């Protein structure tokens, strides 16, 4: 029911959010570093939040606080571009709220949740560069969390339904974007699911599975950090040199790149589900093998080479 309800609300709320964003002028306009040729409305995150509202209120209402703060922070940036200091401070506030809502069951667990939120909030935002990419990857991750179960099951099903409904309008060619609001909301939701999963299944295998569930956005972010460091550029500088950008520049279609990266995350999520059923030693070995394989692909593909496609600091 969580999946079905969230899906139904998202299907209704997403076009309404698009119409509202267009009316208010909250749109992403074409530019030298944009993939679209016409303005596309933001505020997709508002539709996703509305879709999550019912199931999350019933199951774990405390989650609505960090999720709402993440949405508000991103929408503020969508309406008017904010300084990096504002976004960083806001992300810390969101992380603190998430640590209060679902602390990981270890010493300093609230801080661990907060760090995960800040990291994934930005990672999903960086991944949101092609139609359907961030939402599709996050959908695959949410299904993985739901399949593993535990306390994360109901919120994960709700997130999967919300993103599936949103993707009906965000698939290429996108009629609405997540925007920073939706990307921040989705990244925060994934971190909260990880904290819930670890809280309900205190096993080594589960801890090794979580990195696989978020591997694509985390790997893309790490590649961006390494690439910018090698180019002696500010880490907060924007560019068009992400993994997906490089694949498009090498001749792959945007749709093919989106499908490929979503498929990679789906396979890693499937591996994560399998890892949770293994003994600790085998779980660590299996997760390590998947991680090494992903790093090998990144290295062989030359994705960390410095890029000249900079937007500026």
Cα–Cα distance measured from residue 124 to residue 256, given in angstroms and rounded to the nearest whole number: 19
| Residue 13 binned pLDDT confidence (cut-offs 50, 70, 90) | very high
For position 313, what pLDDT does the model report?
A: 34
Average pLDDT of the residues in 113-128: 95
Average pLDDT of the residues in 81-104: 94
Express each pLDDT in 203-255 by its tens digit.
Answer: 788 889 999 999 999 999 999 888 888 877 766 666 677 899 889 989 899 99
For position 235, what pLDDT does the model report?
A: 65
What is the token pair recorded at 77? 């940036």
Percent of the chain with pLDDT over 90: 73
Which positions ≥6 away from 30 have C-beta within 8 Å?
36, 37, 38, 39
Phi, psi angles (nearest 5°) of residue 238: -80, 160
| 216 vs 172, more confident | 216
For position 310, what pLDDT does the model report?
A: 45
The strand ranges marked E within 99-178 are none
The CA distances from residue 233 to 125, 236, 309, 311, in Å, are 19, 8, 11, 11
Which positions ≥6 away from 283 have C-beta within 8 Å?
204, 205, 208, 209, 275, 276
The strand ranges marked E within 20-175 are 27-28, 40-41
Round the average pLDDT of the chain to a whole number and report it.
90
For position 36, what pLDDT does the model report?
A: 63
Prediction pTM value? 0.92
Answer yes or no: are the C-beta atoms of 294 and 217 closer than 8 Å: no
């Amino acid at each position: 029911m969580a999946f079905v309800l969230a899906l139904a609300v998202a299907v209704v709320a997403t076009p309404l959010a698009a119409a509202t964003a267009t009316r208010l002028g909250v749109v992403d306009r074409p530019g030298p570093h944009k993939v679209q040729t016409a303005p596309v409305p933001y505020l997709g995150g508002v539709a996703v939040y509305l879709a999550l509202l019912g199931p999350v209120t019933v199951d774990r209402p405390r989650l609505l606080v960090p999720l709402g703060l993440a949405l508000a922070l991103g929408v503020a940036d969508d309406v008017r571009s904010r300084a990096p200091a504002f976004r960083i401070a806001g992300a810390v506030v969101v992380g603190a709220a998430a640590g209060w809502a679902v602390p990981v069951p270890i010493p300093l667990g609230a801080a661990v949740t907060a760090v995960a939120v800040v990291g994934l909030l930005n990672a999903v935002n960086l991944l949101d560069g092609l139609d359907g990419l961030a939402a599709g990857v996050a959908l695959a991750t949410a299904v993985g969390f739901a399949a593993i179960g535990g306390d994360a099951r109901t919120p994960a099903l709700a997130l999967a339904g919300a993103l599936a409904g949103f993707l009906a309008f965000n698939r290429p060619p996108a009629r609405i974007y997540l925007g920073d609001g939706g990307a921040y909301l989705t990244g925060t939701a994934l971190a909260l699911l990880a904290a819930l999963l670890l809280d309900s299944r205190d096993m080594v295998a589960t801890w090794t599975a979580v990195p696989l569930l978020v591997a694509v956005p985390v790997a893309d972010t790490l590649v961006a950090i390494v690439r910018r460091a090698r180019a002696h550029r500010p880490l907060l500088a924007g560019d068009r040199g992400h993994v997906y950008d490089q694949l498009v520049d090498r001749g792959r279609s945007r749709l093919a790149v989106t499908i490929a990266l979503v498929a990679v995350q789906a396979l890693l999520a499937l591996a994560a589900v399998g890892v949770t059923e293994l003994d600790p030693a085998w779980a660590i070995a299996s997760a390590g093998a998947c991680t090494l394989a992903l790093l090998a692909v990144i290295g062989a593909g030359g994705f960390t080479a410095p890029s000249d496609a900079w937007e500026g600091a």
